[in-house]
Structure 1
Amino acid sequence: MARQDELRSLRIRVLIPLTAICIAGLGGTVGFYVLWREQGGTWLDALYMTFNTLATVGFKEVRPLDAAGRWLTMAVGVTGIGGAFFLFSVVMDYLVTQRFLDVRGRRRMQNRIDALSGHYVVAGLGRVGRRAAEELREAKAAVVVVDPSEEVEALAGERDYLHLQGDATEDEVLERAGIRRAKGLIVTTNNDATNLYVVLSARILNPNLFIVARADEEDSVPKLMRAGADRAMSPYAIGGRRLAHLMLSPGAVEFFETAMRRGNQALNIGEIVLVSGSRMVGRPLAELSQETGATLLAVLRDNTAIAAPKPDLVLATGDRLLALGTDEQLERLEKMLLAPR
């Protein structure tokens, strides 16, 4: 909205001097023609005299000027030349101001990014990238969007995302996005070779980074995994499976879509990792359900999923718990799992 108001103000400021120049040109041409008509003057003579006056060329008068002609010449000069100088000042003021604001805005944006830690970086602001950033925003996670296109300023600005215009394949751009301090990276460009390069660069800069990459071709999935991605998937394959599941089990798909949608106050699915030193290490799973009210769906241990775990299952360091519940229940569960002994 502020940008639109600024452009509207600029149009008004430019229109005023342009109108003055047009009035000077038209009025001068008509005026000189009227003054010289009885002397055999033509419209071309009048237009030429007006042009000489506005352009400050300084050639002699086409025909002799009386007092009225001299007053007309001064009026044309003041109006036209004044309008031209005013137009020049408006344009220069706008260009200088925009350049100054752009530099200040980029510096301010970089300072905000430098203050982040444990955030998520989204490389690529296409349809997939925008959706991923929206989901992270709904989960109240800090997000930095990186894209080389000029549209990133407008797209990210509309949604108030922290953003950088740059190529994520360059280490310097990833460094500016705070990749060493980031918790995760989502690579969503529509080019598998670019995604591969971004994953490889990010993995070198931050070995502990959790990376999820998009693959346009199914054959690219294992390559992205070998390059350092923790997860790689094709949106088309996921979409195809989702459509098939909607046909076979629509109720189940709708339930999980509701549970996985961030911002839903009724139901959510969360994943919490049991860290070393937690007071829940060595304790039975039943204590979590009793104190938090969340439903434990599965425990991921040593790359093995324990579905519908029994209440007497003893928790161990590194266990990843998938739980179903409200935001409040999941928050209580996370606090219990992260609480020290």
Structure 2
Amino acid sequence: MRKITLKFLKKLATKYATSGVLLIIGLFIYGIVGSYIIMDLNLIDSLYYSVSTMATVGYGDYIPITTTQKIFATTLALGGVALLAYVFNIILTNFQERMEKFSKGAIKMRTIKNMDDYFILCGYGRVGKVVLDELMQRNQNVIVIDKDKDVCENIKESSNVVVINKDAVENDYITKFVNEKCNSVILCTGNDVTNLFIVLTIRENNPDAWIVVRASKVENISKLRKAGADKIVSPEIMGGQGLYFESTKPHLLKITVKHTTDEIFNEFEIIAKHGCTLENIEYHLPGIETPLIRKIKTMSMADGMKYQNYLKTHDDQKQALDNLYKNTNNIHSHFISGPDKHTFDRLTKELEKTEEIIGINLSNEEIAKLTSKNIKN
């Protein structure tokens, strides 16, 4: 009940601040006119009597005698008390709101400052929620910007998720966070015009930023591309998960390797050690361009150990996996997401010590040509 009352008072004070001032002026005029006519005072004394009565000072130099005078003095005093309390509530509430905003804003800015890197998610709707879920599953740092206060209040903040209730377009606000620490900007607002304006704003201030945009209408894709968007995703074609993958393209590695099933856990251990996520595995049948895709999406060592124990206790599954590796000549590709290029460099160097690396970011066509040689041999 207390929270509801405070919330009501805050809204009331903000909404009727101007009305409160007008009511005080109206009451003041009522006091002067009433004092002049009812109390039979001159203009200066009417002004003095109105102020002292409204402020409930009551020096007693002018005493109402008649019934009319007493009713007038009573209404003037009660009106003054009520309006002064109301104005005081406005001042106190506005001060409290400003202090809360300043305090929360300072904490948010400090959290962002302490982040090594982050993604910016602008717009938290149906698509934005999916994108945020994908980012949080991978323990990524995220700054969520949305102009809807109710939407922002429903997003759970943490040490790696900061929510800012601002209009990204207003005063080029979003450009404050697009710097060398920003991995990617993901625009998920449902308004293509807003997305277009944000892209132009970011490009003007940071030509190197990686920008992924949601296009609500297919016909606006070319406009967004011309404005400077690196990747444009239409929900008609691709969902929120697609937006995430496009946003991580600078930090998404496809590494084609060759090893047996006995080396799976060692490989996964290295990937997890570097804080990366194994998104999926592609198995390449010799000479066939389209691979067999197996979704993994994990970065937990517990998952790796669980899978290793599963293979040890399920001979049929281990045999099936051995057959798959045999049919692909042990050649397969890993899609790995990670924090930055330097991490991938360290990861690749360590993997080279334990397995044969065939190539980095090879296309399916290139891999098919390589594996087709195995058929001839």
Q: Is the 8 A contact 1:215 1:221 kept in 2?
A: yes
Structure 2: stretches of 5+ with no match in the other structure: 14-26, 41-62, 245-250, 270-277, 305-333, 351-377
* Offset of residue 287 of structure 1: 6.5
What amino acid sits opposite 1:163 in the alignment? I
Q: What TM-score, normalized to structure 1? A: 0.54
* Offset of residue 95 of structure 1: 2.5
1:156 to 152, 156, 180: 152
Aligned-partner SS, 1:236: coil
The answer to whether the aligner puts 1:298 opposite 2:274 as a matched pair is no
The corresponding residue for 1:233 is 233
Larger RCO (alpha carbons 8 Å, 6+ apart):
2
Structure 1: stretches of 5+ with no match in the other structure: 14-50, 240-256, 263-270, 276-280, 310-321
* Offset of residue 121 of structure 1: 0.8
Q: Is the 8 A contact 1:299 1:305 kept in 2?
A: no
Aligned-partner SS, 2:144: strand
Aligned-partner SS, 1:273: strand
Question: What does residue range 25-104 of structure 1 map to in structure 2 within 5 Å?
Answer: 55-57=31-33, 58-61=35-38, 66=65, 75-104=74-103
The answer to whether the aligner puts 1:273 opposite 2:253 as a matched pair is yes
Amino-acid identity (%) = 16
Change (3 A) 1:142 1:2: farther
Q: What TM-score, normalized to structure 2? A: 0.49
Q: Is the 8 A contact 2:192 2:215 kept in 1?
A: yes
Aligned-partner SS, 1:324: strand
The corresponding residue for 1:211 is 211
Tell me the distance in 1 between the aligned counterparts of 2:177 and 2:296. 33
Tell me the distance in 2 between the aligned counterparts of 1:67 and 1:169. 61
Aligned residues: 253
The alignment's C-alpha RMSD in Å is 5.0
Query: CA offsets, 1:178-226, max 9 Å, x none?
Result: 4431111111233435434433554565565443211223344355446
Change (3 A) 1:72 1:126: same
The corresponding residue for 2:373 is none
Q: Is the 8 A contact 2:118 2:182 kept in 1?
A: yes
The corresponding residue for 1:328 is 300
Change (3 A) 1:188 1:65: closer
The corresponding residue for 1:318 is none
Change (3 A) 1:233 1:282: closer
Aligned-partner SS, 1:110: helix
What amino acid sits opposite 1:232 in the alignment? I
The corresponding residue for 1:186 is 186
The corresponding residue for 2:118 is 119
Change (3 A) 1:198 1:53: closer
Tell me the distance in 2 between the aligned counterparts of 1:287 and 1:222. 48
The corresponding residue for 2:177 is 177
* Offset of residue 85 of structure 1: 1.8
The corresponding residue for 1:140 is 139
Tell me the distance in 1 between the aligned counterparts of 2:8 and 2:196. 44
Aligned-partner SS, 1:237: coil
Aligned-partner SS, 1:183: strand
Tell me the distance in 1 between the aligned counterparts of 2:107 and 2:180. 20
